[in-house]
Amino acid sequence: MKKLLLLVAFCFTINQMSAQLLDNLRVGLESNMAWYNDDKRTGSFEDDVNDDTDKHLRVNSYLKLDYNFLKNFTATVQLESYEPLALLNYSPNFDGTNLGIYSLNYRSEKLEATAGHFYEQFGSGLILRNWEDRQLGLNNALLGGRVKYMPTNFLSLSGLYGKQRVGFETADSDIFGFNTEIDISNIFKLENSSLNLGLSYVGRQEKTNIEDPNFDELTNAFSGRIDFSKGSFYANAEYVAKSDDVYVFNGQLLDDFVNPGSALLFNTGFSKKGFGLDATFRRLENMGFYSEREKTGNVFLENNINFTPALTKQHDYLLSNIFVYQAQSQVVFADPELMEAGEIGGQIDVFYNIKKGTALGGKYGTKLAFNASYWAGLKGNYDYDNLSYDVDYFGFGDKYFSDLSLEIRKKWNKKVNSIFYYVNQYYNQKTIEDNFSGEQIKTNIVVGETTYKFGKIGQSVRLELQKMWSNSENHDWVGGTIEYNASPRLSFYVNDIYNSGTDSSTSENHYYNIGGSFNKGTTRFSLSYGRQRAGLVCVGGVCRFVPEATGLSASLLMSF
């Protein structure tokens, strides 16, 4: 009898321990797959990055495990697989199967310490941001150590050291960082307002083979910022100074072209019920900052230390995302006709809700959203022969990009709502793409979208029509989407865009896609087949080039 009781007690204990172990474990699985096939219209399958035409199946998979133990500790590992190769135009450094991320973290009320891989951002990210975006093929985590200490409720101190992740390896440099956050409003017990100060430093130590170089192996970047808010008003500003850094052209260091860098960012806004306004100004000069100098401006978004996204409207529609802006943060001296030292510009957002019961608002009201952005080069004197420039701090040079958009959202009744969208864009292809034969493209885009809801289980149909007119005979696009939501879990869609213009790469091609997705709990599966237009895929203002391709794509996401 005693043996039986001991066995029951042992089994109960093991069961409780197993349950506790599982309760402390979080698992995330993501797999993105594609089968690329030959297409008579767009051409045969070809992977220029890996010089491959045989491996049509590509899979990117990620298995992440987070385990909490001893109350204050978390262990993290992320297994990554790119077999037989990564998806098209991902960096060739993502190859095979290996541990991508591993770390051990300790967290208490005042202290946090991490050993292994970690992600960090100082301020807005102008001197440091480490993050992962699988859609962009970007993971620039630091491998090393980080300590955060909060001695009081108004002071936070951080220090870090690491080597930046590049594929499954690390960059050949050392990154140092220190950050201080001071809550002034807490110190002086300010009521109904918030005032914070921030000071940051980031250093990159990289050896060079150049004898007696005109630049230091240690490049320093300093940041100071202030954030203020009171009631419905807010404002923040950040200034960055970067020490001398050498110019890189086609992977070669030009030791006789060395310049400092700087950045200025200002944002302010006001919001209340039914109205909001947000305005941003930014100036960047020689603010490309990479963990390896030779990798400056690489197309795979690798080795980026800082974060300089395009501050423009993030559009939701296919045609308004054909000509998208990329921040011009670096010095470019590619040709006497193509010289730049950075960018200057900004954007403004205005939101307004027309009240219900008014003539324009109707029974359900009407929502308006207006956005305007403008970006130009830095005005100044550029000397191609002597590799030098002298720019005005607030001078606007050649126009790079502008975007004006107006969105009207209207609910007609309980079942029908619509969106009307207008976009006017200017795109300087020569400077944005460093394309010597690029055009100055002006476009007008109109979008109409209507959703009809029916049934008792969340069924709906969405119809979307788009049209682009441009000053270029190469681009005359039309597009459309129809989407059917059979339930909150199951949906299907078909979309297509078509260019009747004369552009040799896209003319008279239908870039169609048909697909669907299924959701249940924390699991999502999607499947689609169609053509991918060559161009930029952008997430949060950061863009990656993707080549033209045709094939079947599938995605699986699970977490538990």
Confidence of residue 20 (pLDDT cuts 50, 70, 90): low
For residue 204, pLDDT over 70 is answered with: yes
pTM for this structure? 0.93
DSSP 3-state assignment of 294? helix
Mean pLDDT of the chain, nearest integer = 94
Q: What is the DSSP string of 100-169?
A: EEEEEEEE-SSEEEEEEEE--B-TTTTS-B--EETTTTEE--EEEEEEEEEEETTEEEEEEEEEEEETTE
pLDDT digits (tens, 9 = 90+) for 506-533: 998 999 999 999 999 999 999 999 999 9
Confidence of residue 456 (pLDDT cuts 50, 70, 90): confident
**380 vs 505, more confident:** 380
Average pLDDT over residues 212-218: 95
Which residues face 560 on adjacent strands?
A: none
> CA angle 525-530-532, nearest 5°?
105
Question: Distance between CA 474 and CA 500 in Å, rounded?
Answer: 8
Query: Residue 199: its pLDDT value, please?
Result: 98
Average pLDDT over residues 119-144: 97
Question: Distance between CA 549 and CA 528 in Å, rounded?
Answer: 13
